[in-house]
């Protein structure tokens, strides 16, 4: 008589979700009581009524602007997340092979490299509003096309979504910074918007997964008509919102004047080169993580409920983003470069552990959550440094160009690992870890060279 061993599907414990939620809540709730900014504001009791009224009006204007932007950014994040969830569903629904998946990833990386690299420069020249409308149109096209086509081509979707992701990586942030400056808001308030962007973006990605899975469950055995209808609807809403509510000053400088300024301020400043290198290393490492995290966890045939692990990563990223205001305005503030050095080193150390040795599922989920917590600190901090060293008029081009080396490295890895099978997953993860260590070195050098930033902040 044989013995039947029931396989158990691993799931994260509910206490992990509770811990992440409570930690985010208390981090945000307790911040005003320990913030230097709050203490400084409460201690300055001697000011006239006119100054107080003006300050209150400016604060109200800034909060209105910030909320409107965060709502649009969250909506765009939901669209990006839905495309990811539904894309994975279609791979399984249409029986896409591993080779076809590799082709899809390669085509997306190539599109981001050869076309997405120059979208940032284009957005600086013609305006961020037009490029963000292109973002909505690309998602709208993919949604309508997949809803109407019985057997959609993976190639076309990969190109459109890669270009949309490239636009998402720089255009919304660049527009926000330009409008913030045009409206006359204080430069130090940008730091709050940066970490809130990361916080709400991560929350929106969790919400997109919940929404996508709910729509797929209601779809039954039919094709993914209802989910892609949601993508179409959200894209139309975003398009109309940008068209009606988005204000943007006309771009005065032509391509000649822009390129002259770009060559002088971007190519001619070694500090910007260091910042761009760190951004490229981060982008490469995150891309590698999202390609390899699932194969790493389910190695050796382990059964895991991946859909329940995904929210843990973004919950950890939300928690990391809430640590940023503590670092820049808490009771023991540190320089932005110092926090980035530590975060890059810790993220690189975490990935090196995964690359070095086989680990249990619980340990892998823990270190991957820690990696995303570090990313939650890094992304808003890098955005803050971009404001310090990069002129607003050149910000989009700088970000898109900084991602080109990462996309080129990613394309090389996909070709070598996916087709030639010359590189193992552990080696790829080790390369991502080395990239993060290199980024930490860039931040160390930037700290030594960054004595005179492009713009003077109240605290550096």
Residues 6 or more apart whose Cβ sits within 8 Å of residue 248: 127, 128, 129, 175, 178, 179
Rounded Cα gap, residues 289 and 296, in angstroms: 10
DSSP labels, 355-391: HHS---HHHHHHHHHHHHHHHHHHHHHHHHHHHHHS-
Q: Give the chain's radius of gyration (CA, Å).
A: 23
Band (457; pLDDT cuts 50, 70, 90): very low
pLDDT digits over 102-154, tens only?
Answer: 888 899 999 999 999 999 999 988 888 899 999 999 999 988 888 777 665 67
Query: Does residue 304 sit in helix, strand or coil?
Result: strand
Quote the percentage of the chain above a pLDDT of 70: 83
Quote the mean pLDDT of the chain: 83
Rounded Cα gap, residues 146 and 140, in angstroms: 10
pTM: 0.89
Alpha-helix runs per DSSP H in 149-269: 154-182, 190-219, 225-245, 255-262
Rounded Cα gap, residues 265 and 267, in angstroms: 6
pLDDT digits over 273-287, tens only?
Answer: 999 999 999 999 999
Rounded Cα gap, residues 386 and 267, in angstroms: 14
Is pLDDT at 418 greater than 70 in this prediction?
A: yes
Mean pLDDT of 40-49: 40
pLDDT digits over 328-354, tens only?
Answer: 875 556 788 999 999 999 999 999 988
pLDDT digits over 69-88, tens only?
Answer: 999 999 999 999 887 777 76
**Polymer length in residues for the chain:** 460
Farthest-apart Cα atoms in the chain, separation: 90
Domains defined along the chain, listed by start: 14-19+67-449 (1.20.1250.20)
Rounded Cα gap, residues 86 and 404, in angstroms: 27
Quote the percentage of the chain above a pLDDT of 90: 47
pLDDT of residue 120: 92
Band (253; pLDDT cuts 50, 70, 90): low
């Amino acid at each position: 008589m044989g013995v039947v061993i029931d396989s158990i599907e691993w799931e994260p414990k509910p206490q992990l979700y509770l811990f992440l939620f409570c930690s985010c809540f208390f981090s945000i709730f307790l911040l005003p009581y320990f913030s230097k900014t709050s203490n400084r504001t409460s201690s300055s009791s001697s000011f006239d009524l006119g100054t107080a009224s003006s300050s209150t009006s400016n604060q109200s204007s800034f909060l209105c602007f910030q909320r409107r932007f965060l709502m649009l950014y969250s909506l765009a994040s939901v669209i990006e997340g839905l495309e990811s969830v539904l894309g994975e569903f279609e791979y399984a629904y249409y029986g896409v092979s591993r080779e076809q998946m590799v082709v899809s990833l390669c085509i997306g990386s190539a599109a981001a490299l050869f076309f997405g690299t120059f979208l940032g420069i284009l957005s600086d020249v013609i305006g961020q509003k037009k490029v963000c409308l292109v973002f909505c149109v690309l998602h709208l096209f993919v949604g309508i096309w997949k809803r109407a086509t019985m057997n959609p081509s993976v190639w076309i979707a990969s190109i459109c979504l890669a270009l949309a992701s490239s636009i998402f990586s720089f255009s919304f942030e660049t527009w926000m910074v330009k409008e913030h400056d045009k409206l006359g808001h204080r430069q130090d308030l940008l730091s709050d918007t940066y970490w809130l962007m990361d916080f709400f973006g991560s929350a929106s990605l969790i919400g997109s997964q919940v929404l996508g899975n709910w729509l797929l469950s209601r779809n039954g055995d039919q094709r993914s008509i209802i989910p892609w209808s949601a993508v179409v609807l959200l894209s139309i809403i975003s398009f109309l919102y940008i068209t009606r509510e988005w204000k943007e000053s006309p771009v005065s400088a032509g391509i000649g004047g822009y390129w002259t300024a770009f060559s002088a301020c971007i190519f001619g400043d070694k500090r910007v080169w260091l910042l761009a290198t760190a951004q490229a290393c981060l982008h490469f490492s995150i891309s590698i993580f999202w390609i390899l995290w699932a194969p790493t966890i389910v190695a050796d045939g382990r059964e895991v409920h991946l859909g329940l692990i995904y929210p843990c990563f973004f919950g950890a990223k939300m928690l990391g983003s809430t640590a940023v205001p503590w670092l820049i305005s808490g009771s023991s503030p540190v320089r932005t470069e110092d926090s980035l050095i530590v975060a890059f080193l810790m993220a690189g150390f975490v990935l090196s552990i995964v690359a070095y040795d086989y680990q249990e599922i619980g340990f892998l989920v823990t270190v991957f959550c820690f990696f995303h917590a570090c990313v939650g600190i890094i992304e808003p901090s890098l955005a803050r440094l971009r404001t310090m060293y990069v002129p607003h008029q050149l910000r989009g081009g700088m970000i898109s160009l900084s991602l080109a080396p990462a996309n080129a490295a990613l394309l090389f890895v996909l070709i070598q690992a996916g087709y030639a099978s010359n590189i193992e997953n552990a080696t790829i993860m080790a390369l991502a870890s080395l990239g993060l260590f290199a980024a930490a070195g860039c931040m160390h050098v930037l700290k030594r060279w960054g004595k005179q930033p492009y713009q003077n902040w109240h605290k550096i």
